[in-house]
Amino acid sequence: MGLSNPKAGHDDTTTVSSVSPNWVTTRLDFLTNWARSNSLWPMPFGTACCAIEFMATAASRFDLARFGMERMSFSPRQADVLICAGRLPFKLAPVIRRIWDQMPQPKWSISMGACASSGGIFDNYSMVQGIDTIIPVDVYVPGCPPRPEGLMYGILLLQKKIKGETFTDDSLRVEKLVGPSGLFLPAERVDELSEPFGNSISQTRSS
Amino acid sequence: MTLRTVEMALATPGVDAAGYPTRVPLGVAPENGGYREDLGAEHMLVNIGPQHPATHGVLRLVLELEGETVKRCIPHIGYLHSGFEKLGEYRQYNQIIPLTDRTDYLSPMANNVAFALAVEQLMGLELTERCKVLRVIACEMSRIISHLVWLGTTGIDLGAYTPFLWSFQERERIYNLQEAWTGARLTTSVTRIGGLMADVPDGWEAGLREFTNTFPKTLQEIDTMFTRNAIWIGRTQGVGALTAEEAINLSLSGPMIRASGVDYDVRKDQPYLDYDTYEFDVPIGEYGDIYDRYRVRLEEMAQSNRILEQALARLGRLKGAPINVSDPRVVLPPKSRAMSDMEAMIFHFKQVMEGVKPPAGEAYVGVENPKGELGTYLVSDGTSKPVRWRIRPPSFINLASLPTMCEGALLADVIAINASVDIVMGEVDR
Amino acid sequence: MATLSPSVPALRSEFGSSIERHLVSSGQTVVYVTRDRSHDVLAWLKDTPGQEFNYLTDVTAVEYRDPERPLEVVYQLRSLGRRANLRVKVALDKRGTLEVRSVYNLWRGADWLEREVYDMFGITFVGHPDLRRILMWETYAEGYPLRKDFPLRGHFSRAEQTRQALAANPEAHYSLEELSIADAYGELPKEMQERLAKGERGFLK
């Protein structure tokens, strides 16, 4: 069924599953996606301030348990969604890459906060300018830190995304590994994503 | 003036020959931690972190174990190094205030105050009365929320999951107050050079009064849960002890040094913001183990509550007083004047475009942050951006004592000792 | 607000010309000492009755924007009993070797503080038992971040920095002390393996 190796024989751009979507597969999709989205076990990769807001979201006032996410999985092997809450310096980059690689499919990731999404206010020598240069990201939650309601909205968006998936599409579950060049994205793309933009260009003006 | 923690005879069986408190035996411990020399066993290298639920952030501990006993403990930090001090050299002084929120993100208002005090010392500014009282309120609220996080997370590390929810519920009440005042729950940026970002809104004082009236009840519940709890005592008494001489030599500060019996509190020794006019006690421990640190922090929260009540009374007397210094080179003029008066318009323009310019010189100001003595060392060359912004990080220096405390302890104790240091990695790594 | 610390005349009478100059800035006393006697001065300040600066508040360094001014190593001292502060500075010529004696044997708190100054400025502390990088990783090749000739975003391009970061094996970041029993020994740089084999436990250049 959908378990065929996507790399065997055909090229990656036009992956065609051996099963065509039909009424049965959509019913199975509905069941699978409902189960997956309502019991996402988060892998809280909390580094900085966003981790505190994540803890506050999990605590009693905002409560992640109603999304089925109260079981924090600190072992990546048992987690579904990696929530990168906080800034990511270069020293931590191989760690998050390794943890992402250790998570089994199906897996998703939420980049929580401005620093995880784009480097935030830390446009300097030590900070990764957005974790999407290291791992694939499904949902970006802006904010510094995002309010717990904002994180919950991001989780609801992820649930919506999951509900729109289908198991007949193999390309969704392809492991995007670090390439032979040593990078996850092409070098030009990394430089492009990391360029300063907006106000940060004027910040270094001296006076 | 200082309050020694009472009831130390509670369950301490006494001290051993070296002066360290002996442990309460919870069961029959195998000798030598279970390690059998005669079997020719090797030492084991265990890596904890940097991603780990109990390291309180991205800390990596490499332990060399002989059975269950730690022979060497080597902490690795830098996994959250964000280049704050480098960034500060490219920012104007008021632009650095939002950066200070993010070093110790558990007590952001206290960091804002610490930095602003350093710049004001450099410039020789005298703050207004109302500003000082509001800053004291900000610092003490920060102390309470920081100690509440410490309590909740240490409880989780030692297996007590419920107080985490209680402490976070109390934090939410302070977060409401912070949000009403500054607009943000966590990254408050409440101070500006020469004053504050804004005065507290109407009805805010009633909210804070309600908090101070009901907070002691929560502290009482936590006290009931932990202080006489046999498991808590067994896991914390006698563990991770440091003598007073060691604490001073290791440059510890805050509850870490006070639990070891050293009477050093920056609020009492080098008062700032008129702390010498408030009535409060400083709890001092006796044995320097984890239990003492717990007692010290718990009592500090009660004392912070006491300071908040006094500050609220003063705030009531200072209704309508100004919160910013009246120096137009430092504080933005009111918009109505900036739009009508040429001089005010020029001051506004210069401050926004160029920023506040302290005279050339340097200053070090230490404040009593919840984690310890947070120092800000600023070197200025007369321009609007500092030459050097150095954060003297209490958590970094307190964490350096971890190998000393862990050697000879059991593996499970390492987690408890690490929790008792009360670190925040944003401040350790900056 | 200018209050000169009474330690300054005492230092001058004890050490004479090794005390270069002193000043008072924002009400705080700063004393400049020569590099060759910095350790003696600090030991004297710690141990002498009447001075008793038993608490080392901070060790850091400053580089000025003016390229002519030397690098300064800053020691912030406190006497807990006398409730007194003092700032001692050692000026290091940027064109010479950046090294100064470590005060680890006086205050153990200097351990990580000096490592951080080494990491950020490249100043070597002679006599420190384990001087290696602390905030950046041990094989960090871009330089010393807090120097003024180090650009804010680093020397390498973002892609290069990301590549170097991802290439690092997280387990290979062991200190020389740990490496005696580490599994990742085989993946260490050759140079580090050789030094380990020679029995070195000191700092990386």
pLDDT 10s digits, B98-137: 999 999 999 999 999 999 999 999 999 999 999 999 999 9
> Are the C-beta atoms of B199 and B323 separated by less than 8 Å?
yes
> If you average pLDDT over every residue of chain B, what do you get?
87
Q: Does B80 contact A72 at a Cβ distance shorter than 8 Å?
A: no
What is the C-alpha separation between C126 and B159, in angstroms, rounded? 44
Q: Is the pLDDT of residue B395 over 80?
A: yes
DSSP letter at B59 equals -
Nearest to B83 among A126, A204, A206 (CB): A126
Residues of B in contact with C116 (CB under 8 A): 396
Please state which of the ranges A16-25, B161-170, B260-269, C44-53 shows the lowest mean pLDDT.
A16-25
Nearest to C166 among A129, A134, A191 (CB): A134
Range of the domain at C76: 7-128
Which subunits sit against B, judged by 3+ Cβ pairs under 8 A?
A: A, C
Reported as type and span, the H/E element at residue B380 is: strand B372-380
CATH code at C33?
3.30.460.80
Residue C194 lies in a domain: no
Mean pLDDT computed over B163-179: 92
Nearest to B82 among A72, A87, A206 (CB): A87
Residue B8 or residue B19, greater confidence: B19
Please state which of the ranges A169-173, B268-272, B331-335 shows the lowest mean pLDDT.
A169-173
pLDDT above 70: percentage of residues in chain B: 90
The predicted structure's pLDDT at residue C174: 56
> If you average pLDDT over every residue of chain A, what do you get?
85
Q: Is the pLDDT of residue B191 over 90?
A: yes
Residue A89 or residue C6, greater confidence: A89
Residue C94 lies in a domain: yes
pLDDT in tens, C157-187: 888 888 888 887 666 555 555 555 555 556 6
Residue B159 in tokens: 């297996």
DSSP, residue by residue, chain C: -----THHHHHHHHHGGGEEEEEEETTEEEEEE-GGGHHHHHHHHHHSTTT---EEEEEEEE--SSTTSPEEEEEEEEETTTTEEEEEEEEE-TTS--EEE--TTT-TTHHHHHHHHHHHH--EEET-TT---SSS-TT--S--TTSTTS-TT-SS-HHHHHHHHHHS-GGG---TTGGGG-GGGGGS-HHHHHHHHTT--S---
Count of CB atoms within 10 A of residue B101's CB? 25
The predicted structure's pLDDT at residue B27: 44
pLDDT above 90: percentage of residues in chain B: 60
Q: Rounded to whole angstroms, what are the CA distances from A193 to A88, A132, A198, B233, C154? A: 15, 9, 13, 52, 16
Residue C84 lies in a domain: yes
Residues of B in contact with C60 (CB under 8 A): 377, 388, 390, 392
Please state which of the ranges A58-62, B196-200, B416-420, C181-185 shows the lowest mean pLDDT.
C181-185
Reported as type and span, the H/E element at residue B259 is: helix B255-259
From the list B414, B130, B176, B416, the residue with the least C-alpha distance to B293 is B416
Q: Is the pLDDT of residue B265 over 90?
A: yes
Those residues whose C-beta lies under 8 Å from the C-beta of residue C83, and which sit 6 or more positions away, are: B269, B270
- pLDDT band at residue A4 under the 50/70/90 scheme: very low
Residues of B in contact with A64 (CB under 8 A): none
pLDDT in tens, B355-375: 899 999 999 999 999 999 999
- Judging by DSSP bridges, how do beta strands B69-76 and B60-66 pair with one another? antiparallel
Mean pLDDT computed over B321-343: 88
Tell me the sheet residues that pair with C88.
C31, C75
> Are the C-beta atoms of B191 and B128 separated by less than 8 Å?
no
Residues of B in contact with A53 (CB under 8 A): 185-186
Alpha carbon B340 to its chain centroid, in Å, reads 44
Please state which of the ranges A102-111, B69-78, B294-303 shows the lowest mean pLDDT.
B69-78
Mean pLDDT computed over A19-37: 88
Those residues whose C-beta lies under 8 Å from the C-beta of residue C136, and which sit 6 or more positions away, are: A91, A126, B78, B81, C119, C145
Mean pLDDT computed over C106-126: 92
To the nearest whole Å, the CA of B132 is away from the closest chain A CA by 27
> Are the C-beta atoms of B94 and B192 separated by less than 8 Å?
yes
Q: Does A124 contact B99 at a Cβ distance shorter than 8 Å?
A: no
- Judging by DSSP bridges, how do beta strands C99-101 and C124-126 pair with one another? parallel
To the nearest whole Å, the CA of B92 is away from the closest chain A CA by 9
The predicted structure's pLDDT at residue A192: 85
Residues of C in contact with B121 (CB under 8 A): 26-27
What is the C-alpha separation between B402 and B236, in angstroms, rounded? 15
To the nearest whole Å, the CA of A153 is away from the closest chain B CA by 18
Side chain identity at residue B185, one-letter code: R
Mean pLDDT computed over A123-143: 92
pLDDT above 70: percentage of residues in chain C: 81
Taking the domain A32-203, which CATH number applies? Answer: 3.40.50.12280
Q: Is the pLDDT of residue A28 over 70?
A: yes
Query: Domain ranges in chain B?
Result: 2-76, 84-392+412-429
Query: Domain ranges in chain A?
Result: 32-203
> Are the C-beta atoms of B229 and B237 separated by less than 8 Å?
no
Alpha carbon B110 to its chain centroid, in Å, reads 8
Mutate to test the interface with C, among A125, A134, A194, A205 (most CBs of C within 10 A): A125
The predicted structure's pLDDT at residue B132: 95
Q: Rounded to whole angstroms, what are the CA distances from B8 to B11, B229, B257? A: 7, 14, 17
- pLDDT band at residue B36 under the 50/70/90 scheme: low
Please state which of the ranges A96-100, A196-200, B166-170, C65-69 shows the lowest mean pLDDT.
A196-200
pLDDT in tens, A71-92: 888 899 999 999 999 999 999 9
The structural domain count of chain C equals 1
Q: Does A92 contact B354 at a Cβ distance shorter than 8 Å?
A: no
Residues of C in contact with B244 (CB under 8 A): none
Q: Is the pLDDT of residue B424 over 60?
A: yes
Residue C60 lies in a domain: yes
Q: Is the pLDDT of residue C71 over 80?
A: yes
To the nearest whole Å, the CA of C120 is away from the closest chain B CA by 10
- pLDDT band at residue B15 under the 50/70/90 scheme: low
The predicted structure's pLDDT at residue B109: 94
To the nearest whole Å, the CA of B261 is away from the closest chain A CA by 31
Reported as type and span, the H/E element at residue B149 is: helix B129-157
**What topology does CATH give the domain B84-392+412-429?**
Cytochrome-c3 Hydrogenase; chain B (1.10.645)
